[in-house]
Amino acid sequence: MKKGLNQLRIAGNEPTLGWNHLMKVLELVSKTEFVFILETNGILIGNDRKLARQLSKFKNLHVRVSLKGTNREEFAKLTGVKPKGFDLQLTALQNLLEAGVSFNPAVMLSFSDPHNYEKLKQEPREIHKKLPQYI
């Protein structure tokens, strides 16, 4: 590992949309010492828990679920997608946890009311009591 770098990341343009390609990339990276950071909105993983189970076989993988907004309304405003998509992001957290995948949630706060962020921290707590400290 040149210059002490040990992480790789794919972000932007939702890498889970090309699932088969992503699996091939993860297979290649699994043969290295790199930690692979998958940045996703989590919607597909929230919609299909078998995807989280497929990710669980990669021990050098960390998934960063980038929540769009702090609630359903902010999600719809930021993405132009139906508000239920926000719920799928939270379900992705549950699916990843149950599958034993290393992950953390992140949230775009620049468009959010601080009060809404505090309310959001209650949602992941219902999934796992320590999860809010990793946002």
127 CB neighbour count, 10 Å cutoff: 18
Contacts of 56 by beta carbon, 8 Å cutoff, 6+ apart: 99, 100, 101
H or E stretch including 135? none
Segment 7-12 mean pLDDT: 82
Distance CA(78)–CA(50), nearest Å, equals 28
User: For the chain, how are helix, strand and coil distributed in percent, rounded to 5?
Assistant: 55, 15, 30
Please tell me the CATH code under which domain 2-134 is placed.
3.80.30.30
What's the pLDDT band for 112 if we cut at 50, 70, 90? confident
Please give the pLDDT value at position 133. Answer: 62
Model confidence at 131: pLDDT above 70: no
pLDDT per position as a tens digit, 56-108: 999 999 999 999 999 999 999 999 999 999 999 999 999 999 999 999 999 87
Going from N- to C-terminal start, the domains of the chain cover: 2-134
Q: Identify whether the C-beta of residue 123 lies closer than 8 Å to the C-beta of residue 90.
A: yes
Distance CA(93)–CA(86), nearest Å, equals 11
What does DSSP assign to residue 13? S
Q: Which amino acid is at 54?
A: Q
Q: What is the mean pLDDT of the chain?
A: 88
Please give the pLDDT value at position 103. Answer: 93
